[in-house]
Structure 1
Amino acid sequence: MSQSSERRHSATETAPLLEGQIDSYQTLDTSAKIAGKDAKDLFADQPVEAQSSSQVSDAVNHDQSSVTSPDDDDTATKSTKYSTAHHLLNISPARFWVFFPVVLFLHMVAWFDSSLMGSLHPVITSHFHAANSASWLSTSFLLSCTAFQPFFGRISDTFGRRPVYLFATSVFFLTTLWCGCAQSIGSFIAARATAGLGAGGVTSLAMVMTSDMVRVQYRGIYQSYMNLAFGIAQSLGIACGGFLADQIGWRAAFGIQLPLILVALALIVITMPDRMGPELAKNAGWTFREAVASIDILGAFILVITVASLLLGLNLGGNVYPWSHPIVITALVVFAIALPIFLHVESRAKRPAMPLEFLHKTPRSNMIFSNFFSLLAINTIQFNAPLFFQAVKLQPPTDSGLQLLGSSVALLICSVGIGFLVTWTGELKRWLVVGGVALLISSIVPTFLNENTPTWVSVLGIAPVGMGHGTALPVSTVAILALSTQQEMAVATTTLGIFRTLGSVMGVSVSSWVLQNALWFYLRRDVTGPNAAKIIEVARKSIEAIPSLEPVARAQVVRAYEQSLRVTFISGTLFSLIALLLIIGIKLPKLHK
């Protein structure tokens, strides 16, 4: 058979791979090794759309080059020998179960590091006598962790996952060492900013590489493992930060991470396949200069400026500085200028850092924006729920934190269990809607809470936010990656991550703005008497002072907070409703094994 006829024959055999398409996307799992019948069965009862030969080729290559190494070349033909081989793409189970735990472990260390600052920053700023710089410790990490993710996505597509993952891990190690050795607050802030660069690469590439190695039908299971690692890391970081600072000092809290990261780095060198991802430069035979030229460096740079300036303005405005502060205004002005420039550049880029079709082509655009509004709602509830227990129920901070334990438990259970449910049922749309409805309910219930509501009812009313968070968001991740070709995996992950971070930050900023304006209105309306102005000032500055107010004034202040929080929770309900409406009408395929 001639080479041309072989190509035609190959295209004919793999044509069924395209039968599961919706809205003109390529199919979810199209490894060149699997039979056409198996791929056809992946999406039952889905409409078929005509495709060009180039699109057929793209679909065939979706997972063909995802993970290859010399000792894994014939894994697919031998896959029936392994109990879990049918889950995997071009990697043996033995190698996968050595490498994947390393990825999970490093993923957990990175999230542990990010959550430490919640407990450590008071100790660190006190050590450097720089309490006014506390917000920058977290802000600097957040900015670099989020804004630079598109670089990791596109560069790993071009040069392969291995060198980029090793680079990100090395940066994470060196900057963690820097954090522990910093001799000034400026040096520490710079270290945290650079650590965010490494941690962002580690966490985003973990998800991308999992998609490289696991077939779409089974990704939910492995997403659950990652969710579990994330949940454990976040809980340990928040719980252990203060303990570590008290027992061994804040510098040692960073020092104990170093051997863990170093061991992980060594294991990555040993266990990670030599070739992962599209590796466009190697497969296309590009020189280094040609490979660099293929990357949308200008678009990625402008994206960094756009995201960083928006996050900076939203994170500082109304929380650290007033909205009229020059830093906040400058950041938001830079964002307003950079955004249209970014859209113009990306609309003309051959391989954009953030493909604009992700933002306007359903169903991916719907899920991305649904995640954005979901995080707006989630953070509106979670950020203000402790305030309800402290300012309305007059509970101490420790007790108010415990009242959110039900939401945290629901989040952990649902985020772990949902992956197995998706794999078992093959359903994506159903669980998206379940999560969206749970989130909507958890937004509505707090609007009815008041001073006389039993505490156990308040706790149960807020708990569903964890269910919505733990259900809708993980399923969205699986669905968006499933609807993306191999060449889009990395950029799809980073795009989703950016909008989730924006939603989280805006949830805090917007809800704070709503609350403060509503509180100012209700305090002036409800607080009366000769000392009204003084009482209003005290109530706005210190929640801890509310219980010590005389009974009449305390009742007036509590009522003002209750009504202000109701308005704030109503805004969260609006965000939840928008998130649900964005996904209620989309069509998603059912995954079949």
Structure 2
Amino acid sequence: MSAIVITTAPYPSERTALLRSHSYSSSDSGRSDISTDSPNQPVRSAPLKDSISLSRFVIVCIGVWSANFVFAFQSTAIPTLAPEIGSWFEHGELSAYLGSMFTLANTAVIPLYGVFMETLGRKFAMVTACLFFGAGTIMCASAGNMYALIGARTFAGLGGGGLLTVSSVIVTDLVPLRDRGYYQGLMMTIFGSGSMLGGPVGGWLTDRFGWHWSFWIQLPVIVFCGVIVSAFLPTPHIPPTHRSLFSGLASLDWLGTALLIGSVTTLIFGFSFHTSYLEPWSSPTVWGMLLASVLSAAAFVLVEMKVKRPLVPLRVFKSNHISAVMLSGFFLSVSNQAFMYQIPVYFAVIVNTSTAQAGLIISLCGGLGLALGSLIAGQYIRSGYPWRWLGPISLVPPVVGALVAATWKPILPWWSYYMTVFPCILGYSTFLCVQLIALVSSVDSKLMPKATALLYTTRSLGATLGVSVGGSIQLGALASQLKILFEGLEARDQIINSILHSKAAIRLLTPRLQSLALSAYARSLSTVWLFSAGIAVLTVVSSVFIEAKEVHKEERRVIKGTGGGISEGGPFAEGIGPATIEGERQ
């Protein structure tokens, strides 16, 4: 048996390392005696699972994972409904904003949830996320026009940014590291169930009762999550990294966050004015937005080099392992969202299926793929097998799948579509589990919120760009193809504009023009999927540099004495005080 007590140095050190790539050293005031099987293992607190009853543990997991369920539900429901909602409001050119503005809001607030978790606790952070997401969902269901709906989706994104991030940290608090992959698999099974139901249920509700009900149905689940977390979530015995909420908020890189969001927003608007509103590249609005995006990005890099606690510590990229984790997450999100968001468009426009049928393939493949991929990866890592190359291998199907999708024809049998999409999601889900384990096996418990928040920030940023840039590429390619195919046609520009605003306009054309318009649509979707394949290749390349850390050895360092200091280094070190663990073997 061993009794383990966690204490904290009285004052946080700004030189505390996140990654234990450097050794502990003795100070003048005392000495450290380290007893561990692996000197490079991060410091961890005891899993909360050991200190609560099994029934309470199960209830907490169900409550936390319900947030993942509802997030997954909307993630497939909205892409499925977007073409229908766009046509409903006669603003089909704005439908991509329903996804991109939600993920943009996610990106903006994830660092805030990191501070909430560190200062006010996981419970406060999760309940706050539920409140914002729930209120935003009510606003979505009540929206009377496309602009109000986009604004409501943005507001809901303020909560969505916390649902996945906080739930991931909570599960990491609850279970031992060696079991983290297994529980990630269970969590992704719930996530997969939500994904599986989102498309067909949302589509069925839209066809039967109207699209508003696809939002109303999400409310009971998010309320359930908030109630369970409030009542049953235990508090981890991890010393706070900030003395108060004010000091935590003050420590945030507000300028860097504003510049990053500004850069992404102006990039989205710049492309949108060109593709959605057919403004030429020479338009001051278009090139002005793109120039503002470039300047904001450059200013962001300069700010991150200077500020004390940057949003994205640039020195993180000096570590091949951590930089590979972050970059691969970014590229994978860009590729996956660009690929998946256009699939319902293909079936709604090219195949001309109902909304429910359009959502069925993405939901079934997404649900099963997400569940099986994480379960397989989690169990594989838990069993102790070498997992160094599991990540790169799992990323091959997304590359192949996007290339195959670019060749799709409406005459193909339905099983061929499933055989294309399912392996992509299976590989995507497998890598998400590998990526998370690679990160959590490299950081201390105290730094888990900060590191996890940065991971989800990069993923969310990638998802934002994937949806928005992918949508802009599709609309731009569609407009270009229509101009070529409709050359010499009377009222060409008006017809093209009506097609861009509503897919229903295609069915009002003569048979010959319908055929040309559908051909242009198919080519535009192929262009997006080729873009997705190219980004997926970058994901494979970056994943090669991810290291497979040992997850089966002793998870907590045993340090005797209080005089030991931690040598400087580590990409997240600023503002974090050292944890000292005293152990007594009996």
Superposition TM-score, scaled by structure 2 size: 0.72
Q: Percent identity?
A: 24
Q: How many equivalent pairs are there?
A: 525
Q: Kindly provide the amino acid, as one letter, of the partner of residue 141 in structure 1.
A: F
Indicate yes or no: 2:331 matched with 1:373: yes
User: Aligned equivalents of 1:193 and 1:405: distance in 2?
Assistant: 23
SS state at 1:477 partner: helix
**Counterpart of 1:236?**
197
Higher relative contact order (CA 8 A, sep 6+): 2
Note the C-alpha offset of 1:104.
Answer: 0.9
Of 412, 417, 431 in structure 2, the residue corresponding to residue 472 of structure 1 is 431
Structure 2 residue 351 is matched with structure 1 residue 395? yes
- Residue-by-residue CA offset, 1:406-435 (whole Å, 9 max, x unaligned): 743434422343222222245442320221
CA distance in 1, matches of 2:506, 2:143: 37
Query: Could you say what secondary structure the match of 1:148 adopts?
Result: helix
Among candidates 322, 333, 358, match of residue 364 of structure 1 = 322
Maintained 8 Å contact 1:158/1:278: no
Q: Which amino acid in structure 1 is aligned with residue 177 of structure 2?
A: V
Counterpart in the other structure of 1:202: 163
Separation of aligned partners in 2, 1:274 and 1:586: 32
- Measured after TM superposition, the shift of residue 116 of structure 1 is 4.5
8 Å CA contact retained: 1:311, 1:505: no
Give the superposed CA RMSD: 4.8
Could you state the TM-score of these two structures normalised by the residue count of structure 1? 0.71
Aligned twin of 2:536 = 576
1:586: Cα distance to partner?
Answer: 4.0
Partner amino acid, structure 2, of 1:272: L
Higher mean alpha-carbon deviation, 515-524 vs 465-474, is at 515-524
Q: Which has the higher mean CA deviation after the structures are superposed, 563-572 or 345-354?
A: 563-572
Q: In the alignment, which residue of structure 1 is the partner of 2:581?
A: none
Of residues 394, 403, 410, the one that matches 2:369 is 410
AA partner of residue 339 (structure 1): A
> Could you tell me which amino acid in structure 2 is paired with residue 337 of structure 1?
L
Query: C-alpha separation between the residues in 1 aligned to 2:207 and 2:353?
Result: 20
Tell me, in whole angstroms, the C-alpha distance in 2 between the residues paired with 1:197 and 1:303: 16
Question: Which residue of the other structure, out of 452, 455, 478, is the alignment partner of 1:493?
Answer: 452
1:59-138 matches, cutoff 5 A:
59-60=42-43, 63-64=44-45, 93-113=54-74, 115-118=76-79, 136-138=97-99
Counterparts of 1:183 and 1:385, CA distance in 2 = 27
Instruction: Provide closer, same or farther for how the CA distance between residues 397 and 332 of structure 1 changes in structure 2, counting only shifts above 3 A.
Output: farther
| 2:76–2:363 CA contact under 8 A, matched in 1 | no
Deviation (angstroms), 1:497:
2.5
Q: How does 1:160-559 map to 2 (within 5 A)?
A: 160-180=121-141, 189-245=150-206, 254-275=215-236, 278-281=239-242, 286=243, 289-311=246-268, 313=270, 318-319=275-276, 322=279, 324=281, 331-383=289-341, 395-398=351-354, 407-408=365-366, 409-446=368-405, 456-457=415-416, 459-511=418-470
Supply the distance in 1 between the matched residues of 2:482 and 2:85 (Cα, whole angstroms). 36
Structure 2, unpaired ranges of 5+: 10-16, 25-32, 554-586
**Is residue 103 of structure 2 the alignment partner of residue 142 of structure 1?**
yes
Shift of 1:240: 2.4
8 Å CA contact retained: 2:99, 2:467: no
CA distance in 2, matches of 1:491, 1:484: 10
Letter in 1 for 2:60: F
CA gap 1:182/1:439 in 2 versus in 1, 3 angstroms: closer
Cα distance 1:483–1:243, how it changes in 2: closer, same or farther (>3 A)?
same
Cα distance in structure 1, aligned partners of 2:285 and 2:143: 25
The answer to whether the 8 Å contact 2:143/2:149 transfers is yes
- Consecutive unaligned residues of structure 1, counting only runs of 5 or more, are 1-5, 11-17, 27-34, 42-47, 50-55, 73-84
Matched residue, 1:587: 547
1:32 aligns to what?
none
> 1:349 is matched by which residue type in structure 2?
V
Counterpart CA distance in 1 for 2:480 and 2:212 is 45
1:290/1:530 CA distance change after superposition, 3 Å: closer
Q: The residue matched to 1:371 in structure 2 has which SS?
A: helix
Letter in 2 for 1:592: H
Q: CA deviation at 1:193?
A: 2.5
1:575 CA drift (Å): 2.2
Q: CA deviation at 1:342?
A: 2.5
**Corresponding residue SS for 1:485:** coil
Shift of 1:470: 1.9
